Chains A and B, each alone.
Chain A
Amino acid sequence: MKSNRWGSKDLGVGIGLRSPHFSEILENPPEVDFFEILTENYLDTNGYAAHVLDFVAERYPVVMHGVSMSIGSTDPIDFDYLAKVKALGEKTGARWLSDHLCWTGVNNKNTHDLLPLPYTEEILTHVVERIKTIQDFLGRPVAFENPSTYLEFAHSSMTEWEFLGRMAEEADCGILFDVNNVYVSAFNHSFDPLAYIDAVPADRVFQYHLAGYTDMGTHLLDTHSDHVVDPVWELFGHTLGKIGSRATLIEWDASIPDLGVLLAESEKARSWKEKEASNAA
């Protein structure tokens, strides 16, 4: 299966670099194919976290995943922030940068949440222009992740997957495809997750995310706090068949387990990739 249009490498299966695992990673570097870092956690620190990141970047491929580009916001783009992102990307040799299809704040105030947008032509134009500006500044394509959402706007004139696909084409950006987010949003908004997956432009996808969620009764909450559930693994298999093999990461950010548990989960992702590869052969 082909890579994306930028020819980015399928880095294999990775894990997020999280502080509870720092000492274990330094003492006994795990067998993982790559690490993903939460960009904002490393922009201003020069202490232990920076030391661990240096150690990791010398030994593994690193990709950067941010939460503050706020491509949907009506606030001005924060170029000071982007300059730091760019510098960190150069320092770590990050293979690619990613963020989210969302907005996080307005009037220079940040909620630090990934907030949903109405999916309209007007807002598509707004987002596309901002992404172009950001990518010009960074000098590289950025992959944007489909969010988990808990509300839909009545005035949306297209589905999220239409918006995401058109955004990627018109802004010439990448996609970080989060399979769990599709499952969560499909449950919350009663749409067919396969329709979403089948519409994603394969040649734009850099990476996959997998994660666990919390069932709140009335809705699913994307908490990154548990194992990936079987239906999401099934969707992952479908995604691999439709889009192809890409770098795949298990996100686990709350109730973070021992490193061994996380590595076992990532091995499960590897098994799915190998199974799909043999099916395709």
Chain B
Amino acid sequence: MRLESQNAIPLEKLQRWMYEVIVHPDDIESALASRSAEAEIPARRVGDFIKASRTMTPLQCVGVYHSMYLLRMGETLETDFPITAVFLGEKAFQELVRDYSGAYPSTSYTLDRFGDEFPSFLKEKEIGDAPAFLADLAKFEAAVTEVFNDTSSPVIGAGELEGLSQDAIASAVFRPIMALRLIEMDWDVTLQNDAYIAAESLPAPKAKKTFLAVFRRRWEVQTIKLDNAGYALLGSIIDGEKLGDALSAAFAVAENPDPAVIFSLFRDWMSLGLFSAIEA
């Protein structure tokens, strides 16, 4: 066994230091001089334990890792929240990446979880003229990602209702597919979503109470805009209520409490494949 160098730094300390340096949002000099890095290893010692290369100083060597960190985190958030990124523009989005990475560093083995707190982060943070809009937009994009990755379910069609009496239908519980989310927003983010899909410029935010069902049909994520009654009906069904009770909840909030109209909503959803089972 060869003797270890006297300059050896305990691995845990070295790793804590390197982590603090790598994730620091400012330049590499500031990262090394930061309080959190200095608490582990003083900046003046860097040359003692990191070797210079033929072309780079020790500081530049560790700077390679530092420079890649925020790029990686930014790419991850941009993948999960592409419309938010376009809406904000590159500079503002990168500032957000930097702030978010500092507030919510990744604690998972997968980057897929990194953006989990992004919608709530946007809600807390006052950004631009319409901060609540950004939170709604991110909430919508998070729902799209969740639905895209959620488990496939068997699907029943509207034909399953044939042969059932009205009483049987009213007392049945309809189980939704797994890949379905119901979201309520104060801004109509479908305007930005439609423009993004059409590769058009994103329109200005429009404040409007909006209810959406986001679901996956086969492998494609789709959305349905709902009114008050539709939102109440689908929400009650998702909560496991009998269809008759769910319809009653919808009538209570409907602007036009026409049973035929509201029941037709339900039939449409069955045709779209929003349900996976009927429990009589």
A residues contacting B by CB (< 8 A) are: 40-41, 43-49, 51, 68, 72-74, 78, 81, 103, 105-113, 115, 117-118, 120-123, 126, 150-158, 188-190, 217-219, 221
CA distance A39 to B9 in the complex (A): 32
Q: A69 to chain B: closest CB distance in Å?
A: 9
CA distance A81 to B19 in the complex (A): 21
CB under 8 Å from chain A, chain B span 90-141: 105-112
Q: For the complex of A and B, list the 4 residue pairs with the smallest distance between their C-beta atoms, beginning with the closest.
A: A155-B5, A151-B61, A46-B151, A68-B109
> Are B19 and A219 in contact (CB-based, < 8 A)?
no
Residues of A within 8 A of B11 (CB): 72, 74, 117-118, 122-123, 126
Which segment of B47-55, B191-199, B223-231, B266-274 sits at the interface?
B47-55
> Are A43 and B22 in contact (CB-based, < 8 A)?
no
Residues of B within 8 A of A43 (CB): 109-110
Q: A121 to chain B: closest CB distance in Å?
A: 5
Report which of B1, B49, B151 forms a contact with A121, defined as CB distance below 8 A: B1
- Which chain A residue shows the least CB distance to B56? A218
Knowing A47-B148, A110-B109, A122-B4, the reply to whether A221 touches B64 (Cβ < 8 A) is yes
Report which of B16, B18, B148 forms a contact with A115, defined as CB distance below 8 A: B18
B residues contacting A by CB (< 8 A) are: 1-5, 7-9, 11-12, 14-16, 18-19, 22-23, 48-51, 53-56, 58, 60-62, 64-65, 68-69, 72, 105-112, 147-152, 178-179, 216, 219
Knowing A121-B1, A121-B2, the reply to whether A151 touches B16 (Cβ < 8 A) is no
A-B contact count (CB 8 A): 145
CA distance A44 to B111 in the complex (A): 11
- Report which residue of A51, A110, A188 has the largest number of chain B beta carbons within 10 angstroms of its beta carbon: A110
> Are A118 and B72 in contact (CB-based, < 8 A)?
no
Report which of A51, A111, A123 forms a contact with B69, defined as CB distance below 8 A: A111
- Which chain B residue shows the least CB distance to A38? B110
Report which of B12, B49, B56, B219 forms a contact with A48, defined as CB distance below 8 A: B219
> Are B15 and A118 in contact (CB-based, < 8 A)?
no
Knowing A46-B149, A74-B11, the reply to whether A158 touches B2 (Cβ < 8 A) is yes
> Are B19 and A120 in contact (CB-based, < 8 A)?
no
Q: Can you list 18 pairs linking A and B with CB atoms under 8 Å apart?
A: A47-B151, A78-B109, A106-B16, A110-B105, A110-B109, A111-B19, A111-B22, A111-B69, A115-B22, A121-B4, A122-B11, A150-B61, A151-B64, A152-B61, A188-B53, A190-B53, A218-B55, A219-B56
